[in-house]
Structure 1
Amino acid sequence: MADESDPTTADVLVVGSGVAGCAAALGAARAGKDVLVATKAERPKDATSWWAQGGVAVSRSDAEGFKQDIIAASDDTADPDAVDVLVENANEAVRDVLIETLDVPFDTTGDDPDAFDYGREAAHGERRILHVNASTGRHVLGPFLSHLDDHPNVTLREDTAALDLLTREGRVHGALCEHDGDCEPIYAGSTVLATGGIGALYGRSTNPSGATGDGIAMGALAGADVADMEYVQFHPTVYAGDEPFLLSEALRGEGAVLRNADGGRFMPEHHPDAELAPRDVVARAVAAERERTGEVLLDVSPLDFETEFPDLAANCDERDVDYRTGIPVAPAEHFLCGGITVDSRGRTSLDRLFAVGECSRTGIHGANRLASTSLLEGLVWGLRAGRTAAASGTDPEIVDAPDLRDSDPALPAAFAAEKFTRLREVIDEFVGLSRTPDGLRRASAAIRRLKGEVDAYVRTRTSRELYELRAATVTALLIVRAARENTDSRGCHHLVDTADEPEVHAD
């Protein structure tokens, strides 16, 4: 442990450096508070926001239409009040932060810098998506981090992982963090979790490898409420070969179509909107056609692919994929619609703890997320949470930090990697695009055994990889528990009849 005679403190501690975390830091810093951002990331691309392709949806002049598209895509399960918060604040938040503060170079239709080239994606009723080529996330996050790095009220600590929240009597007082093998409590008046998603729990994901569910697990272990954890969204068009990469929904919005191995277009048989149906519908259809015919190709021949999507064309060239004959695609884990339950200001059920971005459950996604709403949600809720955290009590209180032990020898080099592999095998087999009641029961048993083994090591050893593994197993159990309790098959939570499945073991 670090020397606590001169403890590290901040008015507001933000854990995570994606768009949601950056927005929370900006909101609190603008209120004049000292903000410390602790992030596992060592570079912008380690944050999930960096990987966002499609763009940022805005209301334009039709907030009601935007609201109805969000609710329809959620299979009518989104919280209308939460959706109102999103659509009513969308235009102003984007204008204030992304355009005026960060000067994000959104694509335009000509020489007029204000004539934005709004795109359309699946389940959107109109063109309303601001984008930079098909790499919007990196063009937002890079300038955002640079802006915060220059802000006098913000301190950025990279390669710093939060292991546990510091709590006392139902109030959160900061987090225990690790950097380069050393652990140190960071005390804060308010704490904002912005740790991103859960992609590392799955074998194929569009998330970076560090997306291990840390914030959700820390919040849940501290007693925060969680909800909608069963709704894990799979993106339908991810390159099916080695080194998978996302093929933006904007491709289908501009006319690309899906074809099976026989060359047949199949989406019109599954939904009236065909390729522009909600993601859960398209993902299941792609999986079914791959099983039936052996392959699904994204046909980009209706587009001027190289000109309109040069970043994606470059990804294909790097992998020797001839996109002129179609790009092999398959579903992959993409986004968690649930998380730590928060209100319209990002407040959790624990005093002085906030959550924003993918680790939070605002209610706007319900059972299935509408495309290009994740960056917007992180921006809107991040700003609101940051401002509220700044006003909620920012006098850090020094409390007892956990007594971490290293009484046993270091873990074998491959221990965490092997357990992660086993966890992914169980999750992929039983908690994927479709689930069965019996499969979920088997997954629960296997993950509980795995968690018991991990917990035994955590009690006597301290390391970042071990705590990430603990977070992943806790988050996996929350997903499985929610999936078992919800017998209503909707959106991303697709239940099918019980099939004969092999017994699995955690060893």
Structure 2
Amino acid sequence: MAALPEISDAGDVLIAGGGLAGLFTALKLAPLRVTVLAAAPIGNGASSAWAQGGIAAAIHEGDTAEAHAADTVAAGAGLVDPAIAQLLAREAPARIADLLQLGVPFDRDLEGKLAVGLEAAHSQARIVHVEGDKAGKAIMEALIAAVRAAPSIRIIEHAEAYELISAGGRISGVHALVSGKRVSFLARATVLATGGTGALYAVTTNPAEARGQGLAMAARAGAEIADPEFVQFHPTAIAADKDPAPLVTEALRGAGAVLTDAAGQRFTDELAPRDQVARAIGARITRGEKVFLDARAAVGDKFPAAFPTVYAHCRALGIDPVLEPIPVAPAAHYHMGGVRTDAEGRSSLAGLWACGEVASTGAHGANRLASNSLLEAVVFGARVAEDIMNAQLPSPALSAQEAEMAAPESAHLPLLQRLRRRMSAKVGVVREAGGLSQALELIEALRAEAAGPARTLSAFENPAIAAHLMTRAALAREESRGGHYRSDFPETRPGWAHRSLLYLTPSHDPMPAQEGTKA
């Protein structure tokens, strides 16, 4: 008989995820006692630390929150909640002020004001950066220093949550593997901040930890999932045999870099919405052509100082972007879908909140506006913290239904690689019914191959469920909209101008949910 898991008091709040959303929420929850579970050493396994573009905020004269919200709604292709977009844009300056207070060294102009840049689909220059392309790294360094100094916050690294604890109709913590040991963490409130799903794809800009764990955990517990079919593919990752693929920030295109074919001919509008640029590049690559981002005229010898992160990535791969164009390809970058939450970050399950990329707030719709992702993490991290601090939180209870993790993750790496290849090939930039059906068949076959005895949970199960939800929703949406493009349904159809809402049945089959219902 397997040993029972160790039980740990996580304090007032348990946060699963050590990226920007999780750490910012933890800081805002002070003085409540908070435990943060991080699957990797904090900073290393977080997509936030790799973000190059910056944070969008209407902070300069002539720009307004209303204009920022309008750009957000327009980019979202008819599925953004306008009230959420207004909230996001309105609260952006205050969250930038919070980050400045924490010591984030945002770039400034000659007058000492915050410098702002332009990115795709923004009507104004409103992106704040750090040294051109180091925003994510600098923000995470500041947050990590703050949480390590906070007496109310306990950080546990190498701790990966795999199952929510549900007892008495309420979520009361998580079961996790901590350096391979099973531990049940009990808390009065639980926050998912586990990141996205990018590492379910073979070509991605995301760390290996971004496998949809939080999305699947919430779905298995009965939470409502929104818009899982909408995946944003960054148009310009460096085309090289490297996993994950190094990102080439959109700020380069904002600075005037152009996309060219092998003959040096420009072929698309570099500042069009990301889905359009990704498809334009993807179509050429599918035909066997190569695509390049040429910054020689626009940036030239200023490249090392202006974009040090991209420059370092290029040089490590033998490319000198000062003298030659950069080979690029689309890569899975951001998941617009996730655990459906309200404006306070509450999920459809009592006791469970979500923020950051794992959540679907209605802010991004079918196609996230550039540099709204870090913004959403801090805006909703703050709102989650405020809501929890104002809530009446009961003492947690332990469920007797915990599943044992059947095998270490390493045992299923070959299955995960097969899944990733199929997701890139069939649930990628361009999709169609036959390929999506083939993807679903493989996902179910791999789940069956990985399955263990009753009351055990394969390490492959959560990634497989996340992939299944994404693929099932993509097959159901018979139109093209934002980040979801169907070659067999290439037009946007008015009848589909609504969010996809799904939940899992007890047999773990996805079923549609009606707007406003709870799972």
* TM-score, normalising length: structure 1: 0.90
| Cα contact 2:19–2:42 (8 A) shared by 1 | no
> Contact 1:405–1:459 (CA<8 Å) still a contact in 2?
no
Q: What is the DSSP-based 3-state SS (H/G/I as helix, E as strand, rest coil) of the residue aligned with 2:10?
A: strand
Alignment partners' CA distance in 2, 1:35 and 1:291 = 48
* Amino acid across the alignment from 1:420: L
Distance 1:235 1:188, change over 3 A: same
Report if the CA contact (8 A) 2:164-2:175 is conserved.
yes
Q: Which residue of 1 aligns with 2:38?
A: 39
State the partner residue of 2:162: 163
RMSD across aligned positions (CA): 1.9
Structure 2 equivalent of residue 427 of structure 1: 423
Q: Please name the residue that 2:304 is paired with.
A: 306
Q: Deviations over 1:448-503 (max 9, x none)?
A: 2222333x2264656xxx43x211100000001111111121111100139xxxxx
Partner of 2:79: 77
Q: Is the 8 A contact 1:121 1:249 kept in 2?
A: yes
Corresponding position of 1:296: 291
* Alignment match, 2:115: 117
Q: Which stretches of structure 1, 4 residues or longer, exceed 6 Å deviation after superposition?
A: none
Is 1:20 aligned to 2:11, yes or no?
Answer: no
Q: Cα offset for 1:307?
A: 2.9
Q: Which residue of 2 aligns with 1:281?
A: 276
Q: Equivalent residue for 1:11?
A: 12
> After superposition, where does 1:92-131 map in structure 2 within 5 Å?
92-95=94-97, 97-100=98-101, 102-110=102-110, 112=111, 114-131=112-129
The equivalent residue for 1:317 is 315
How much identity, in percent, do the aligned residues show?
A: 39
Matches within 5 A, 1:57-68: 57-60=56-59, 61-68=63-70
CA distance in 2, matches of 1:217, 1:459: 19
Aligned-pair distance for 1:3? 6.8
1:495 aligned partner: 486
- Work out the CA distance in 2 between the residues paired with 1:312 and 1:334: 16
* CA displacement at 1:390 relative to structure 2: 2.6
Compute the displacement of 1:2 (Å).
6.0
Residue 154 of structure 1 and its aligned partner are, at CA, apart by: 0.9
TM-score of the aligned structures, taking structure 2 as reference length? 0.88
Q: What residue in structure 1 maps to residue 255 of structure 2? A: 254
Is the deviation greater in 427-436 or in 445-454? 445-454
Q: How does 1:39-438 map to 2 (within 5 A)?
A: 39-60=38-59, 61-95=63-97, 97-100=98-101, 102-110=102-110, 112=111, 114-132=112-130, 133-243=132-242, 244-267=245-268, 274-292=269-287, 294-301=289-296, 302-303=298-299, 304-323=302-321, 324-405=323-404, 415-438=411-434
Change (3 A) 1:414 1:82: closer
Query: One-letter code of the match for 2:46?
Result: A
Tell me the alpha carbon deviations over residues 256-299 of structure 1, each in whole angstroms, 9 at most, x when there is no partner. 000011211011xxxxxx11000000000011123346111100
Q: Tell me, what secondary structure is at the counterpart of 1:325?
A: coil
- 1:104 is matched by which residue type in structure 2? V
**1:108 Cα deviation from its structure 2 partner:** 1.3
Number of residue pairs aligned between Structure 1 and Structure 2 = 478
The one-letter code of the counterpart of 1:165 is L
Report Cα offsets for 1:83-127 as digits up to 9, x if no partner: 0110111101111x2011x111111123x5x41221111111111
List per-residue Cα deviations over 1:23-82 (Å, max 9, x = no partner). Answer: 2112222xx311111110224121110110000110224111111111111123211011
Contiguous gaps of at least 5 residues in structure 2? 490-519
SS across alignment from 2:371: coil
- Identify the structure with the greater helix proportion: 1
The letter of the residue matching 2:252 is L
**What are structure 1's unaligned runs of at least 5 residues?**
268-273, 499-507
Q: Distance in 1 between matches of 2:388 and 2:199?
A: 29
